[in-house]
Amino acid sequence: MQALRRPYFWHAIYTKSRAEKRLYKELCSKNIECYLPLKKELRQWSDRTKWVEEPLIRSYLFVKVSEREYYNVINSAYAVRYVTFGGKAVPIPEHQIQALRIFLDDENRKVDLSHENLEKGELVEIMGGPFKGIKGEIMQIKGKNRIVIRFDSLGTCVYTDISLDMIKQVQPVA
């Protein structure tokens, strides 16, 4: 008899304050696939300046789990709860996690985070450079053209500067 294969979905976990890296380490040690988006920041202390890696989205960690691992994750000492709507954990599409990884893999590009309730713009695809093939929404923010990947389930948008000649308009999927 063939074993039943359970589907795996990405979900966002709300962590205890400043415990993102500890939860990531714990879940990795349990062989649970997880992703902690980090950004490098230059920090200034009174005696030195140092580059540090900080979570891009404070108090959030992404996990890819089946129903079986779902409760193992939340039983961690550093996890608070899943990000939910209507009492149910919201799955995050694989392509959004992959796009976030690609954005953050380019160390020469400054990536910011916005919690503004941004209006939907035109759907575009990047035609060249390290982001080639990434789709997102184009927006006008503080006078600069930026490409946006919207994470509706978190109420968050990731955006970065990009030239308009590097994008083409695409039709929304019906």
pLDDT at 49 (0 to 100): 92
Please name the residues in contact with 15: beta carbons below 8 A apart, sequence gap of 6 or more: 23, 59, 60, 61, 78, 79, 80
| Predicted model pTM | 0.74
CATH number of 9-92: 3.30.70.940
Is the distance from CB of 5 to CB of 64 less than 8 angstroms?
A: no
pLDDT confidence band for 28 (50 / 70 / 90): very high
Is the distance from CB of 114 to CB of 159 less than 8 angstroms?
A: yes
Domain ranges for the chain: 9-92, 97-169
pLDDT at 75 (0 to 100): 92
> What does the mean pLDDT of the chain come to?
82
Of 59, 102, 50, 108, the residue nearest 83 (C-alpha): 59
Given a cut of 70, is residue 81 above it in pLDDT?
yes
Q: Determine what percent of the chain is predicted with pLDDT higher than 70.
A: 79
pLDDT at 94 (0 to 100): 92
Query: Which tens digit of pLDDT belongs to each residue from 111-168?
Result: 777 665 555 677 777 777 777 787 777 766 555 566 677 666 677 777 777 766 677 7
CATH number of 97-169: 2.30.30
Rounded CA-CA distance 96/39 in Å is: 17
